[in-house]
Amino acid sequence: MPSREEISYFGAGPAPLPTPVIEQSAEALVNFENTGLGLSEISHRSPTANKVLADAKSALSTLYDIPLEGDDAYEILFMQGGGTGEFSASVQACVGWWVERRRRRAVAELGEGKDAEVVERVRKEIKEELKLDYLVTGSWSLKASQEAARLIGSNYVNVAVDARKSNNGKFGVIPAESEWNLSDSKKSAMSYWCDNETVDGVEFPKFPDCLKGRTEDDGVVVADMSSNFVSRKINVRDYGMIFGGAQKNLGIAGITVIIVRKSLLALTPAPTFLQQLSDVLPSAIPPVVFDFATIAKNNSLYNTLPIFNLYVATLVLQSLVSTFAEKKVGGQEELANRKASLIYEALDQYSDTYHVVPDKSIRSRMNICFRIKPKADSNAEPGKWDEAREKEFLASAEKKNLMGLKGHRSVGGMRASNYNAVSLTSAEKLVAHLVEFAATS
């Protein structure tokens, strides 16, 4: 039976965790700090649970330089439902904030006591102006846009870019910003993208220039960072909301992290007002467990938060703070870039054997997707991949304890997920296998 040190795991999620975190978490699951109870057995409202929560917030705010006080303060929330749950929650939150802004403006201009007129004016503005912008660059942003259409109607959803239209019907590029068809920022409720697409191996190389400098009167900038969370430096103040599931870079499934501008939470509209608009805006009221203002008011403890799952994420965050010190998340970015560069350099060096799926300009550092070409002397049809060789590659990799390399079923081929806990040594072992396979197969 191989040890953890002998296994190099490149699965897309759930992903590997640092061994010290696993070991400390295992102890906490059985007997947390000699209390005689496991961490999953204690009350989520206990002082112990509150300390875990506070420690997680402190470490994350340190890594990302998140302001927790002042005019530009953010809330850090821990919830459930994963990234998929946030597809829905982000829509309902941003639409609610948009509606509340319009309601307040209508009251200011029409005067108090004009309830019917206010409702009618906001209804008219919804029908004529409301849009949610989606940058569809891969499978997950596509799913997010489809969920928005399911909840509030496709007429309110603006797919500002569909990358498939620039790549023969497949994901693998991000068109230039000049080709994006964003709504007027004063009318948009949200501009949404998935920063890293795990299925398609696509990652935004930087924050979009056209979304910089947005104010409180503009649509909320929302990013799904489930698969590249705490892997590179960001300016949190560029975003209205960031979310991510924990099971890639942070911990185990069951925890979702939300970083949201605190001022937005004060815009949560009364459900009774939204109910009067249900004829033009269905499904705009979130379930209470997805209501950010409620969760923030209760310090993420409105319902039973899985404290053990949060503890695992806390240990990961604290280890990053300890490891990289003043570099903060920039230290992890350097390591992630180094590992990804090694792998891509090998793939490019043996381009007669390997084909990297996405365009070079937007290759993901987290999910490296590639196919294997037929041999030069084969009679294979041009443009086809050699699935037999791909199976041979995977089988020979597993014999070397290089696991989890099979690509997503919708894309095929191979996918090496280079998450934070994948060691440099593991990346080097994969590179050695790439070189050997290209030379001998």
Do 252 and 234 form a contact (C-beta atoms < 8 A)?
A: no
11 found inside a domain = no
At 5 the three-state DSSP class reads: helix
Instruction: Check if the beta carbon of residue 200 is closer than 8 Å to that of residue 138.
Output: yes
pLDDT of residue 145: 98
Beta bridge partners, 135, equal 161, 193
Same domain, 295 and 392: no
Of 192, 181, 201, nearest in space to 139 by CA? 201
Is residue 382 very low, low, confident or very high in pLDDT (cuts 50, 70, 90)? low
Domain boundary among 312, 337, 364: 312
Taking the C-alpha atoms of residue 91 and residue 134, their distance in angstroms, rounded to an integer, is 11
More confident residue, 409 or 358: 358
Has residue 321 been placed in a domain?
A: no
pLDDT per residue as tens digits for the range 275-323: 999 999 999 999 999 999 999 999 999 999 999 999 999 999 999 999 9
Closest CA to 354 of 343, 340, 362, 364: 343
Kindly state the average pLDDT of the residues 95-100. Answer: 98
Is the same domain home to 231 and 357?
A: no
Looking at 269, 284, 312, the residue that finishes a domain is: 312
pLDDT for position 377:
72
CA distance 338 to 320: 17
**What domain count does the chain have?**
2
Name the H helices within 222-379.
Answer: 262-265, 271-275, 292-297, 307-324, 329-349
Q: In this model, does residue 19 exceed pLDDT 90?
A: yes
pLDDT for res 404? 97
Mean pLDDT of 419-433: 98
CA-CA distances (angstroms) from residue 164 to 138, 139, 284, 379? 8, 11, 29, 29
Decide if 428 contacts 400 (C-beta within 8 A): no
Q: Are residues 282 and 349 in the same domain?
A: no
Does residue 336 fall inside a structural domain?
Answer: yes
**Mean pLDDT calculated for residue range 348-359:** 96
pLDDT of residue 271 exceeding 90, the answer is: yes
Q: What is the pLDDT of residue 2?
A: 87
123 DSSP assignment: H
Identity of residue 420: N
* Residue with tokens 């403006």, as numbered in its chain: 105
| Token pair belonging to 259 | 């970083």
Over 90: is that where the pLDDT of 209 sits?
yes
**Type of residue at 246:** A
Q: Which pLDDT belongs to residue 384?
A: 82
Helix axes 424-440, 329-349, angle to 10 degrees: 10
Whole-angstrom Cα Rg for the chain: 23
383 pLDDT more than 70: no
Instruction: Examine the domain organization and report whether 78 and 137 are in the same domain.
Output: yes
Q: Are 233 and 208 in a shared domain?
A: yes
Residues 130 and 230 occupy one common structural domain: yes
pLDDT recorded at residue 340? 98
Same domain, 296 and 339: no
> Exposed, middle or buried by CB within 10 Å (0-12, 13-18, 19+), for 342?
middle
Residue 213, pLDDT score: 93
Tell me the percentage of the chain whose pLDDT exceeds 70. 99
Q: What's 205's domain CATH number? A: 3.40.640.10
Note the pLDDT tens digit of each residue in 107-139: 999 999 999 999 999 999 999 999 999 999 999
- The 10s digit of each residue's pLDDT in 233-259 is 999 999 999 999 999 999 999 999 999
End-to-end CA distance of the chain, in Å?
Answer: 28
The residue range of the domain holding 390 is: 328-440
Q: What is the pLDDT of residue 410?
A: 86
For residue 14, is it within any domain?
Answer: no
Q: Map residue 194 onto helix, strand or coil.
A: strand
Q: How far is CA 26 from CA 32, 40, 222, 304, 396, in A?
A: 9, 11, 35, 21, 32
* Domain presence at residue 19: no
Please tell me whether residues 355 and 298 are part of one structural domain: no
Confidence of residue 380 (pLDDT cuts 50, 70, 90): low
Is 370 domain-assigned?
yes
Please check whether residues 372 and 303 belong to one and the same domain: no
Same domain, 116 and 256: yes
| Segment 175-205, tens digit of pLDDT | 999 999 999 999 999 999 999 999 999 999 9
Whole-number Å distance between alpha carbons of 264 and 94: 9
For range 9-26, the mean pLDDT: 96
- Strand partners of residue 415: 369
Per-residue pLDDT band at 168 (split at 50, 70, 90): very high
Which of 312, 336, 356 delimits the end of a domain?
312
Name the least confident of 129-143, 216-230, 380-394: 380-394
Mean pLDDT of the chain, nearest integer: 96
Domain of residue 413, CATH code: 3.90.1150.10
Q: Report d(CA 151, CA 85) in Å as an integer.
A: 13
